[in-house]
Amino acid sequence: MSKNTVIYGLTGFPLGHSFSKAFFTDKFREEGLDAEYLNFPLETCSREAVAALIETHPRLRGINVTSPHKRAAFALADTRTPEAEAVGAANTLRFSRRPEGDGLFIEAHNTDVEGFREAVRGHIPPGVRAALVCGTGGAADAVAVALRSLGITSLFVSRNPAARPGAIAYREVDAALLASHPLVVNATPLGAFPAVDTCVSLPFEFMSDRNLCVDLVYNPSETLFMKRARRAGASALNGAEMLRLQAIASYDFWNNFINSQK
Protein backbone atom coordinates (compact mmCIF):
# COMPACT_ATOMS: atom_id res chain seq x y z
CA MET A 1 0.00 0.00 0.00
CA SER A 2 1.10 3.55 -0.71
CA LYS A 3 0.50 6.48 1.63
CA ASN A 4 -2.51 7.40 -0.53
CA THR A 5 -4.10 3.94 -0.66
CA VAL A 6 -7.78 4.06 0.30
CA ILE A 7 -8.91 1.17 2.48
CA TYR A 8 -12.21 -0.71 2.53
CA GLY A 9 -13.00 -3.93 4.32
CA LEU A 10 -15.25 -6.51 5.87
CA THR A 11 -16.22 -6.98 9.50
CA GLY A 12 -18.07 -9.76 11.28
CA PHE A 13 -17.21 -12.43 13.79
CA PRO A 14 -15.80 -14.87 13.16
CA LEU A 15 -14.53 -14.22 9.64
CA GLY A 16 -13.67 -17.28 7.60
CA HIS A 17 -13.25 -17.52 3.85
CA SER A 18 -14.39 -14.24 2.29
CA PHE A 19 -15.81 -13.76 -1.20
CA SER A 20 -15.55 -10.00 -0.69
CA LYS A 21 -11.77 -9.67 -0.45
CA ALA A 22 -11.10 -11.38 -3.78
CA PHE A 23 -14.02 -9.62 -5.49
CA PHE A 24 -13.03 -6.10 -4.43
CA THR A 25 -9.33 -6.66 -5.04
CA ASP A 26 -10.21 -7.49 -8.66
CA LYS A 27 -12.74 -4.64 -8.84
CA PHE A 28 -10.26 -2.01 -7.66
CA ARG A 29 -7.69 -3.29 -10.14
CA GLU A 30 -10.22 -3.12 -13.00
CA GLU A 31 -11.19 0.44 -12.05
CA GLY A 32 -7.55 1.51 -11.68
CA LEU A 33 -8.05 2.53 -8.06
CA ASP A 34 -5.32 2.77 -5.43
CA ALA A 35 -7.41 0.85 -2.91
CA GLU A 36 -7.06 -2.18 -0.65
CA TYR A 37 -9.70 -4.47 0.89
CA LEU A 38 -8.96 -5.94 4.32
CA ASN A 39 -10.73 -8.22 6.79
CA PHE A 40 -11.49 -6.75 10.23
CA PRO A 41 -12.87 -9.37 12.64
CA LEU A 42 -14.67 -7.47 15.42
CA GLU A 43 -16.38 -9.21 18.33
CA THR A 44 -18.67 -6.21 18.72
CA CYS A 45 -19.78 -3.63 16.19
CA SER A 46 -20.23 -0.53 18.34
CA ARG A 47 -19.52 3.07 17.38
CA GLU A 48 -16.52 2.95 19.69
CA ALA A 49 -15.17 -0.17 17.99
CA VAL A 50 -15.59 1.38 14.54
CA ALA A 51 -13.96 4.64 15.67
CA ALA A 52 -11.00 2.66 17.04
CA LEU A 53 -10.74 0.81 13.74
CA ILE A 54 -10.60 4.08 11.83
CA GLU A 55 -8.06 5.45 14.29
CA THR A 56 -5.82 2.50 13.42
CA HIS A 57 -6.59 2.75 9.69
CA PRO A 58 -7.18 6.47 9.01
CA ARG A 59 -7.68 5.89 5.27
CA LEU A 60 -10.59 3.50 5.91
CA ARG A 61 -13.57 4.80 3.91
CA GLY A 62 -16.11 2.02 4.25
CA ILE A 63 -16.80 -1.55 5.31
CA ASN A 64 -19.11 -4.41 4.52
CA VAL A 65 -20.80 -5.94 7.55
CA THR A 66 -21.70 -9.60 7.91
CA SER A 67 -23.14 -11.81 10.65
CA PRO A 68 -23.77 -11.17 13.47
CA HIS A 69 -23.35 -7.37 13.26
CA LYS A 70 -25.90 -6.15 10.67
CA ARG A 71 -28.44 -4.84 13.19
CA ALA A 72 -25.69 -3.27 15.31
CA ALA A 73 -24.28 -1.56 12.21
CA PHE A 74 -27.70 -0.08 11.51
CA ALA A 75 -28.00 1.22 15.07
CA LEU A 76 -24.62 3.00 15.16
CA ALA A 77 -25.13 5.00 11.95
CA ASP A 78 -25.87 8.72 11.78
CA THR A 79 -27.97 8.35 8.64
CA ARG A 80 -29.42 5.44 6.66
CA THR A 81 -30.71 4.70 3.19
CA PRO A 82 -34.39 3.79 2.71
CA GLU A 83 -33.34 0.17 2.15
CA ALA A 84 -31.54 0.01 5.49
CA GLU A 85 -34.47 1.70 7.22
CA ALA A 86 -36.93 -0.78 5.73
CA VAL A 87 -34.86 -3.79 6.82
CA GLY A 88 -33.69 -2.43 10.18
CA ALA A 89 -30.21 -3.76 9.43
CA ALA A 90 -27.16 -2.63 7.44
CA ASN A 91 -24.49 -4.56 5.57
CA THR A 92 -22.53 -1.56 4.25
CA LEU A 93 -21.14 1.48 6.08
CA ARG A 94 -19.55 4.61 4.63
CA PHE A 95 -17.32 6.89 6.71
CA SER A 96 -16.54 10.60 6.50
CA ARG A 97 -15.43 13.36 8.85
CA ARG A 98 -17.38 16.21 10.42
CA PRO A 99 -16.16 18.95 12.74
CA GLU A 100 -18.74 18.49 15.52
CA GLY A 101 -19.37 15.62 17.93
CA ASP A 102 -16.86 12.79 17.78
CA GLY A 103 -15.78 13.90 14.30
CA LEU A 104 -17.03 10.69 12.68
CA PHE A 105 -20.02 10.55 10.31
CA ILE A 106 -21.37 7.06 9.50
CA GLU A 107 -23.85 6.29 6.74
CA ALA A 108 -25.57 2.90 6.51
CA HIS A 109 -26.99 1.02 3.55
CA ASN A 110 -28.41 -2.46 2.95
CA THR A 111 -27.27 -3.75 -0.43
CA ASP A 112 -28.79 -7.19 0.19
CA VAL A 113 -32.14 -5.73 -0.89
CA GLU A 114 -30.94 -4.71 -4.35
CA GLY A 115 -28.74 -7.78 -4.70
CA PHE A 116 -31.58 -10.22 -4.05
CA ARG A 117 -34.19 -8.32 -6.04
CA GLU A 118 -32.07 -8.09 -9.17
CA ALA A 119 -30.79 -11.66 -8.86
CA VAL A 120 -34.28 -13.20 -8.83
CA ARG A 121 -36.30 -10.67 -10.85
CA GLY A 122 -35.93 -12.51 -14.16
CA HIS A 123 -36.52 -15.97 -12.68
CA ILE A 124 -39.82 -15.53 -10.83
CA PRO A 125 -42.72 -16.93 -12.89
CA PRO A 126 -45.51 -14.49 -13.79
CA GLY A 127 -48.34 -14.39 -11.30
CA VAL A 128 -46.32 -15.27 -8.19
CA ARG A 129 -47.62 -13.10 -5.37
CA ALA A 130 -46.50 -14.92 -2.21
CA ALA A 131 -43.30 -16.47 -0.88
CA LEU A 132 -42.14 -18.58 2.04
CA VAL A 133 -39.00 -17.10 3.59
CA CYS A 134 -37.08 -19.50 5.83
CA GLY A 135 -35.36 -17.59 8.63
CA THR A 136 -36.13 -14.47 10.62
CA GLY A 137 -32.77 -12.68 10.76
CA GLY A 138 -31.49 -9.64 8.89
CA ALA A 139 -31.06 -11.57 5.64
CA ALA A 140 -34.68 -12.74 5.77
CA ASP A 141 -35.84 -9.16 6.36
CA ALA A 142 -33.84 -7.95 3.36
CA VAL A 143 -35.44 -10.65 1.21
CA ALA A 144 -38.91 -9.61 2.37
CA VAL A 145 -38.23 -5.94 1.56
CA ALA A 146 -36.92 -6.88 -1.90
CA LEU A 147 -39.92 -9.10 -2.60
CA ARG A 148 -42.34 -6.41 -1.45
CA SER A 149 -40.86 -4.08 -4.07
CA LEU A 150 -41.76 -6.76 -6.64
CA GLY A 151 -45.33 -7.05 -5.38
CA ILE A 152 -44.74 -10.31 -3.50
CA THR A 153 -45.73 -10.87 0.14
CA SER A 154 -43.62 -12.98 2.50
CA LEU A 155 -44.57 -15.54 5.13
CA PHE A 156 -41.67 -16.24 7.50
CA VAL A 157 -40.92 -19.82 8.54
CA SER A 158 -38.86 -20.31 11.69
CA ARG A 159 -37.67 -22.87 14.21
CA ASN A 160 -38.87 -20.38 16.82
CA PRO A 161 -41.99 -18.73 15.36
CA ALA A 162 -42.99 -17.21 18.72
CA ALA A 163 -40.06 -14.81 18.40
CA ARG A 164 -41.49 -13.31 15.20
CA PRO A 165 -45.11 -12.09 14.99
CA GLY A 166 -46.89 -13.79 12.09
CA ALA A 167 -44.20 -16.42 11.51
CA ILE A 168 -45.06 -20.10 11.30
CA ALA A 169 -43.17 -23.26 12.26
CA TYR A 170 -41.64 -25.59 9.68
CA ARG A 171 -44.10 -28.31 10.68
CA GLU A 172 -46.96 -26.06 9.49
CA VAL A 173 -45.72 -25.99 5.90
CA ASP A 174 -47.83 -28.35 3.80
CA ALA A 175 -48.76 -28.98 0.17
CA ALA A 176 -51.36 -26.21 0.17
CA LEU A 177 -48.89 -23.60 1.44
CA LEU A 178 -46.25 -24.62 -1.10
CA ALA A 179 -48.88 -24.27 -3.84
CA SER A 180 -50.05 -20.83 -2.66
CA HIS A 181 -46.48 -19.68 -1.97
CA PRO A 182 -44.59 -21.04 -5.00
CA LEU A 183 -41.43 -19.04 -4.24
CA VAL A 184 -39.38 -20.50 -1.37
CA VAL A 185 -36.27 -18.73 -0.06
CA ASN A 186 -33.67 -20.12 2.34
CA ALA A 187 -32.39 -17.09 4.25
CA THR A 188 -30.66 -19.19 6.92
CA PRO A 189 -27.00 -20.31 6.92
CA LEU A 190 -28.02 -23.99 6.86
CA GLY A 191 -26.22 -25.86 4.12
CA ALA A 192 -23.25 -23.50 3.89
CA PHE A 193 -19.72 -24.91 3.87
CA PRO A 194 -18.54 -26.74 5.90
CA ALA A 195 -21.97 -27.88 7.18
CA VAL A 196 -23.06 -28.97 3.72
CA ASP A 197 -25.25 -31.81 5.01
CA THR A 198 -27.68 -29.46 6.81
CA CYS A 199 -30.95 -28.16 5.41
CA VAL A 200 -34.16 -26.43 6.48
CA SER A 201 -36.93 -28.87 7.46
CA LEU A 202 -39.40 -28.44 4.63
CA PRO A 203 -41.67 -31.11 3.07
CA PHE A 204 -39.85 -31.13 -0.28
CA GLU A 205 -42.03 -34.06 -1.42
CA PHE A 206 -44.91 -31.59 -1.85
CA MET A 207 -42.94 -29.34 -4.22
CA SER A 208 -43.42 -29.40 -7.99
CA ASP A 209 -42.29 -27.67 -11.16
CA ARG A 210 -44.40 -24.69 -10.07
CA ASN A 211 -41.99 -23.91 -7.23
CA LEU A 212 -38.85 -21.78 -7.44
CA CYS A 213 -36.42 -22.31 -4.56
CA VAL A 214 -33.73 -19.71 -3.91
CA ASP A 215 -30.88 -20.34 -1.47
CA LEU A 216 -28.88 -17.35 -0.23
CA VAL A 217 -25.99 -19.74 0.42
CA TYR A 218 -23.41 -19.67 -2.39
CA ASN A 219 -20.84 -22.20 -1.15
CA PRO A 220 -21.36 -24.97 -2.15
CA SER A 221 -22.83 -23.94 -5.49
CA GLU A 222 -25.52 -26.59 -5.13
CA THR A 223 -26.74 -26.92 -1.55
CA LEU A 224 -28.72 -29.75 -0.05
CA PHE A 225 -31.75 -27.42 -0.10
CA MET A 226 -31.33 -27.01 -3.85
CA LYS A 227 -30.76 -30.72 -4.45
CA ARG A 228 -33.93 -31.69 -2.61
CA ALA A 229 -35.93 -29.02 -4.41
CA ARG A 230 -34.70 -30.12 -7.84
CA ARG A 231 -35.35 -33.76 -6.98
CA ALA A 232 -38.99 -32.80 -6.46
CA GLY A 233 -39.13 -31.02 -9.83
CA ALA A 234 -38.71 -27.44 -8.60
CA SER A 235 -36.30 -24.90 -10.05
CA ALA A 236 -33.46 -23.74 -7.80
CA LEU A 237 -30.96 -20.88 -7.62
CA ASN A 238 -28.02 -20.28 -5.28
CA GLY A 239 -26.86 -17.01 -3.76
CA ALA A 240 -23.85 -16.35 -5.99
CA GLU A 241 -25.52 -13.76 -8.23
CA MET A 242 -27.07 -11.97 -5.26
CA LEU A 243 -23.63 -11.84 -3.62
CA ARG A 244 -22.05 -10.34 -6.73
CA LEU A 245 -24.79 -7.75 -7.19
CA GLN A 246 -24.83 -6.65 -3.55
CA ALA A 247 -21.04 -6.22 -3.70
CA ILE A 248 -21.38 -3.96 -6.75
CA ALA A 249 -24.04 -1.97 -4.88
CA SER A 250 -21.61 -1.56 -1.95
CA TYR A 251 -18.98 -0.20 -4.33
CA ASP A 252 -21.52 2.27 -5.74
CA PHE A 253 -22.49 3.41 -2.23
CA TRP A 254 -18.87 3.94 -1.18
CA ASN A 255 -18.32 6.05 -4.28
CA ASN A 256 -21.45 8.16 -3.71
CA PHE A 257 -23.42 6.70 -6.59
CA ILE A 258 -26.08 5.84 -3.99
CA ASN A 259 -27.06 8.53 -1.50
CA SER A 260 -28.17 8.11 2.09
CA GLN A 261 -30.82 10.12 3.88
CA LYS A 262 -31.26 11.58 7.36
Catalytic residue numbers read 70
Q: CB neighbours (10 Å) of residue 41?
A: 11
Query: Are the C-beta atoms of 34 and 2 separated by less than 8 Å?
Result: yes
Distance, in Å, from the CA atom of 245 to the CA atom of 77, rounded to the nearest integer, reads 23
Distance, in Å, from the CA atom of 140 to the CA atom of 132, rounded to the nearest integer, reads 10
Distance, in Å, from the CA atom of 136 to the CA atom of 159, rounded to the nearest integer, reads 9
DSSP 193: T
- Helix, strand or coil, per DSSP, at residue 161: helix
* Phi, psi torsion values for 259, nearest 5 degrees: -95, 155
Distance, in Å, from the CA atom of 132 to the CA atom of 214, rounded to the nearest integer, reads 10
Distance, in Å, from the CA atom of 65 to the CA atom of 67, rounded to the nearest integer, reads 7
Query: Are the C-beta atoms of 133 and 154 separated by less than 8 Å?
Result: yes
Contacts of 99 (CB under 8 A, 6+ apart): none
Angle at 41 between CA 36 and CA 45, to 5 degrees: 105
Distance, in Å, from the CA atom of 187 to the CA atom of 174, rounded to the nearest integer, reads 19
CA distances from 120 to 28, 84, 163, 185, 192 (A): 27, 20, 28, 11, 20
